[in-house]
Structure 1
Amino acid sequence: MIHFRQAAAQDLERIVEMLADDDLGSQRERFEDPLPPCYMKAFEAIDADPNNELVVACEGNAVIGVFQITFTPYITHQGGWRATIEGVRTCSAVRGRGIGAKLIEWGISLAKERGCHLVQLTTDKKRTDALRFYERLGFQNTHEGLKMKL
């Protein structure tokens, strides 16, 4: 049985492990023992912010998935709120079992509870399987996103 909850500090090592467990993630994450302090600093900022949640999917006590959701008020759309889902990962051992879809569905339900009019997400263009996955869930490629590394 899969259940969802807010991530706790003791989940951080497992979360970083999942984030680092693919070609792109392994290039940008540092899954080391001990974890670099930057991860705990980020976790503490997310945990203290009422408009951010780090959510884990668990099977029993095992953390098998994660995503971050950020709620943002906008002046556009008549002052509406949006939810942005990022950092979606499932552990490689459970991929193909529908856990990712359940994670996204949970995120959408959180956005609805918060009165958001829109859920948005981004994924690297190199993640073609992820793009197809999100489109299968009803996301539409309606905008061109741009990023600048600082």
Structure 2
Amino acid sequence: MKEDIPALSLHFFTQTLEIAPGAKRLFSFLKDTDEIPQNDPKVKSHAVKVFKMTCESAIQLREKGEVASGSTLKYLASAHLHKGIVGSHFEVVKEALLRTVEKGVGEKWCEDMKGAWSEAYDQLAAAIQAEMNKEAAEIQS
């Protein structure tokens, strides 16, 4: 998949918006368009950043037994909290991720691989959501 990160990243982002078209309102660079501008540098940049972070979290989980931590996790939580991201949004992104990885690995795709990517994503999403909850509690205090 490393060889095709830009295309897979855009596929990942496009899949997310196909599953949940209303999510376009969460992205400032998509608010004024009815379609996903495939060549927009902001779209490409964001797509690559999100896809790479998710892939890196899967690698970290395999190597260290944990996903993103520290300042990266706090940044992700804060960004998601302030954008109004909720639990159901994470499920949409998970489905888009699994579709993208399946496309990226082709014939190598199997239930074990699906399970591993699901586990990695679930742990990343849980870590982000736990940190979001902490920040929300601090704001309310």
Check whether TM > 0.5.
no
TM-score, length basis structure 2: 0.37
- Structure (1 or 2) with the greater strand fraction: 1
